[in-house]
């Protein structure tokens, strides 16, 4: 933990071990020699703005097993403020949820070179149809999940508080 201007301005840094990707058996060995580097570069590819503290390192010898470990570092929690949701009305909570969803989507959105993407996709409708099929399947799964939640609430397997 580090402190900024005063004791209420806390900065927590976190180092996490990065193991080999579970996709290696399908996609082949990573080009990165450090698994922490692989994680960091992946996050930077996917996110429009990454944590300024995001980075990787190698621990030469683990404290317990005396083996080298690949790590990545980041800021543990970079939010300085948060909404008090305990007293929100349902309509305000819905608006807040939409704002959080938009913010998260924007943080993970990356824009590529539209000409390069169009050239890669070509003129066929294969990709368009695949995205449409995925979206429909995803929507259907959401509806099934919601129905299961409603059933779990109705049969009291899950406790839920009604809207106020």
pLDDT for the residue 133: 93
26-35, 51-60, 113-122, 128-137, range with the lowest pLDDT:
113-122
The model's confidence at residue 111, banded by pLDDT at 50, 70 and 90, is low
Please give the residue that has the higher pLDDT: either 136 or 8.
Answer: 136
Q: pLDDT tens, 47-59?
A: 777 788 899 988 7
Arithmetic mean of pLDDT over the chain: 84
Assess contact for 43 and 16: CB atoms under 8 A: no
Residue that has been written with the tokens 């129905």 in this structure: 147
Mean pLDDT on 157-163: 82
User: Which of 41, 60, 59 lies closest to 50, judged by CA?
Assistant: 41
Q: Is the pLDDT of residue 95 over 90?
A: yes
In the chain, the percentage of residues whose pLDDT exceeds 70 is 91
Q: Where in the chain are the domains?
A: 2-75, 90-154
pLDDT at 112: 67
Both tokens of residue 100? 């959080």
| Cα–Cα dist 99/133, whole Å | 27
Band of residue 28 on the pLDDT scale cut at 50, 70, 90: confident
* 3-state SS assignment for residue 162: coil
**Mean per-residue pLDDT for 66-86?**
80
Integer CA distances (angstroms), 85 to 26, 93, 99, 102, in order: 43, 7, 13, 18
- The model's pTM: 0.51
d(CA 159, CA 42): 38
pLDDT of residue 81: 67
Instruction: Tell me the mean pLDDT in the region 27-48.
Output: 86
């Amino acid at each position: 933990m580090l402190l900024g201007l005063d004791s209420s301005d806390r900065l927590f840094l976190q180092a996490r071990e990065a193991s080999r990707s579970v996709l290696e058996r399908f996609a082949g060995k990573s080009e990165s020699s450090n698994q922490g580097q692989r994680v960091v570069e992946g996050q930077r590819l996917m996110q429009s703005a990454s944590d300024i503290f995001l980075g990787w390192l190698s621990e030469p010898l683990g404290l317990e097993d005396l083996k080298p470990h690949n790590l990545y570092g980041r800021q543990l929690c970079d939010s300085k403020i948060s909404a008090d949701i305990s007293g929100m009305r349902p309509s305000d909570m819905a608006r807040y949820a939409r704002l959080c969803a938009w913010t998260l989507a924007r943080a993970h959105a990356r824009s590529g070179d539209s000409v390069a993407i169009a050239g890669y996709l070509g003129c066929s409708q294969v990709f368009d149809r695949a995205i449409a099929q995925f979206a429909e399947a995803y929507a259907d799964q959401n509806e099934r999940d919601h129905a299961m939640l409603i059933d779990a609430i109705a049969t009291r397997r899950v406790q839920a508080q009604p809207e106020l």
